[in-house]
Amino acid sequence: DTEVTQTPKHLVMGMTNKKSLKCEQHMGHRAMYWYKQKAKKPPELMFVYSYEKLSINESVPSRFSPECPNSSLLNLHLHALQPEDSALYLCASSQVGASYEQYFGPGTRLTVT
């Protein structure tokens, strides 16, 4: 099973709202990632968790707050977003290490109004 699930599929939120994106995997992977993807561009790395600890933060604004409550779950908490934050948000997982393939979820299409 190489499935990563993400909820919700679509999300529309105002700039004053607080919302969360959720990601789940049951492949036993101990590394999980958040990516942001704008239209016609490749995914851009936001955060990396390794063994449930944040290991990489690619200078992401604090209005994005990741959380890894256990080895299967990854959340991205959103607060006071801007319209330019509208994008496809992708979760991925892999084994820990520098050489392992990453498996992506279907993404959450976020629109900030």
Q: Which 3 state secondary structure label does DSSP give 3?
A: coil
Q: Is residue 11 a contact point for other proteins (CB under 8 A)?
A: no
Q: Applying CB under 8 A, does 106 fall inside the site for other proteins?
A: yes
Does residue number 53 form part of the binding site for other proteins (CB under 8 A)? no
Q: Given candidates 16, 42, 69, 84, which one binds other proteins under the rule CB under 8 A? A: 42
Among 86, 105, 110, 112, binds other proteins (CB under 8 A): 105
Q: DSSP class of residue 40?
A: T
Number of residues that bind other proteins (CB under 8 A): 30
Sequence-distant (6+) residues with CB within 8 A of 107 are 6, 9, 37, 88, 89, 90, 91
Residue 48 or 112 having the CB closest to other proteins = 48
Q: Which residues contact 85 (CB under 8 A, 6 or more apart)?
A: 63, 64, 78, 110, 112
- ω before 69 within 30° of 0 (cis)? no
- Binding stretches for other proteins (CB under 8 A): 2, 4, 6, 31, 33, 40-43, 45, 48, 50, 55-56, 88, 90, 92, 96-107, 109
